[in-house]
Chains A and B, each alone.
Chain A
Amino acid sequence: MNELLGHVNYWIVIFLMMMGLYMVIASSNLIKKLIGISVFQASVFILYITFGKITEGSPPIITDNTDVYSNPLPHVLILTAIVVGVATTSVGLALIVRIQEAYGSLDEDDIHDINDNDDFDIKSRSIT
């Protein structure tokens, strides 16, 4: 019973992670792929924060009436990772916007088709 409850977080996190991965593989739309990557990333964050939790612990802000604090180190790592994550996501979105401008499509299959077409010249389509 204890074993089951103690691991349920990990299992659900892995489910979330794999659903994110499936979104990346199965959707041909680039924005949906990016959402999939973000879901994957968020599930890694949840995994780290789960490591840091101590039962009956309190948030790692020192007060007089407790002496069990949850582990602050994963919190620090994930706090900065979230902000860096949004910064990198925005770079991804910027790339997607430029791809849309150059190819007129966000669909991976369409982009492959256009690339296979010999007449297509990426330089003439890109906007300076």
Chain B
Amino acid sequence: MIENLELLIDVCLLTFLLLIVFAAIKTTNLFVATMLFGIFSFVTALLFLDLDAVDVAFTEAAVGAGFTTVLMLSALRLTGAFENVKHRHSVLGLFIVVLTGAALIYGVADFPNMGDANAPVHLHIAPEYIQLTQEKIDIPNVVTAVLASFRGYDTFGETVVIFSAGAAVLLLLGMGHAEPKHEPEQNLVLWVVVKPFIALILIFGLYVQFHGDFGAGGGFQAGVIFASGFILYSLVFGESYARQVVPASILPRFAALGVIIYGLTGLVSLLSDKTFLDYNALSSNPVSGQHLGILLVEAGVGLAVFSTVLLIFYSFSGVNHNE
């Protein structure tokens, strides 16, 4: 019964997604397309929740639905491209798309059924990760254990990619500066409602950061949630105030510091004759070594993601160049 219900929800949400994307293709208004994409992200997050991927759903809700929408709206403000765009019908494009789609449909015919416990993907390494997490790392959230410990190399790479993306945006747009005269309309209701909200968002961010070992969450989600607290402050109270609380100039340093914390944790293991990012070197007790290693690495990720996200927001929302 329950699995039928899961499948029903799954198919309903996927149908929603199809309708949303269809509407996004049809619309000629960029503002509408952006908002539709925000809704698309939210529905995707629900779908991930239905498919048991709680950590992924969390990330999609914070990143996709929250930050990406704000970012796209900021970009629209900079380009001033709210007006209608012309839609061109491409017969050749449609032909290519249908052909590729047909080839892919043919390709998935061999795939095992969804939810099949004996599918090849479930037989190779996932059972070992689940078992080793209980034996060697002793934290409940397997996703955090794989992310920060078993596959620490990958995550280090991803953190460096995020840092590089922040650097690229900084090179392209600069840090900008807040326009002193331009302050949002003073709206008493917004002020009163938002003030306690910001405190709650920041506390929630910290909870997600440090509770990631036990439940859904971790450095990636916490970094984005923490940054969104400051983004909300900036949107409601004006960017010049937000830049007084967290100056843009320290953010690149924080982002670099996050990557360095991650890298140094790995180097400590190297210096004690273990392999890079082998947390057993961090403590005489291997399990507490793993706990300490995951805590440090997640802190590095959280700091790097928070700084990069806020820096990207400042770059897009600030006054740049000689506009």
Q: Which residues of A contact B (CB under 8 A)?
A: 2-3, 5-23, 25-29, 31-32, 35, 38-39, 42, 45-46, 49-63, 68-91, 93-98, 100-101, 106-107, 127-128
The answer for the CA separation of A62 and B138 in the assembled complex, in Å, is 10
Contacts of A18 in B (CB 8 A): 97-98, 100-101, 104
Secondary structure dominating the interface of B: helix
* A10 nearest CB across to chain B (Å): 4
- Determine whether the beta carbon of B168 is less than 8 Å from that of A91: yes
The answer for the CA separation of A29 and B88 in the assembled complex, in Å, is 10
Q: Can you name 9 A-B residue pairings with CB atoms under 8 Å?
A: A11-B105, A12-B14, A18-B100, A49-B53, A52-B53, A60-B130, A61-B54, A74-B121, A87-B166
Secondary structure dominating the interface of A: helix
Q: Which residue of A lies closest to B220 (CB)?
A: A83
The answer for the CA separation of A2 and B166 in the assembled complex, in Å, is 46
* A24 nearest CB across to chain B (Å): 9
* A51 nearest CB across to chain B (Å): 5
- Determine whether the beta carbon of B142 is less than 8 Å from that of A69: yes
Task: Choose the segment among B41-49, B229-237, B264-272 that binds chain A (4+ C-beta atoms closer than 8 Å).
Answer: B41-49
- Determine whether the beta carbon of A7 is less than 8 Å from that of B85: no
- Determine whether the beta carbon of A35 is less than 8 Å from that of B141: no
The answer for the CA separation of A60 and B72 in the assembled complex, in Å, is 33
- Determine whether the beta carbon of B158 is less than 8 Å from that of A90: no
Q: Which residues of B contact A (CB under 8 A)?
A: 2-3, 6-7, 10-11, 14-15, 17-18, 21-22, 24-25, 30, 33-34, 37, 40-41, 44, 47-48, 51-56, 59-60, 63-64, 67-68, 71-72, 75-76, 78-81, 85-90, 93-94, 96-98, 100-101, 104-105, 108-109, 111-117, 119, 121-122, 125-126, 129-130, 133-134, 140-143, 146-147, 151, 154-155, 158, 161-162, 165-166, 168-169, 172-173, 214-216, 218, 220, 224, 305, 308-309, 312, 315-316, 321-322
Q: Which residue of A lies closest to B140 (CB)?
A: A62
* B251 nearest CB across to chain A (Å): 14
- Determine whether the beta carbon of A127 is less than 8 Å from that of B322: yes
* Contact residue among A12, A35, A55 (Cβ-Cβ distance under 8 Å from B33): A35
Given A12-B14, A31-B75, A107-B85; A70-B53 close (CB under 8 Å): yes
The answer for the CA separation of A101 and B220 in the assembled complex, in Å, is 33
The answer for the CA separation of A73 and B126 in the assembled complex, in Å, is 6
- Determine whether the beta carbon of B172 is less than 8 Å from that of A95: yes
Q: Which residue of A lies closest to B170 (CB)?
A: A94
* Contact residue among B53, B98, B134, B216 (Cβ-Cβ distance under 8 Å from A62): B134
Contacts of B130 in A (CB 8 A): 60, 62, 69, 72
Given A42-B40, A78-B56; A31-B76 close (CB under 8 Å): yes
* B20 nearest CB across to chain A (Å): 9
* A23 nearest CB across to chain B (Å): 6
The answer for the CA separation of A80 and B301 in the assembled complex, in Å, is 11
Q: Which residue of B lies closest to A108 (CB)?
A: B88
- Determine whether the beta carbon of B33 is less than 8 Å from that of A32: yes
14 further A-B pairs in the complex, CB-CB below 8 A; given A28-B88, A86-B309 = A14-B104, A14-B108, A16-B14, A26-B94, A27-B87, A35-B24, A46-B14, A54-B116, A54-B117, A61-B140, A61-B143, A70-B53, A76-B154, A83-B305
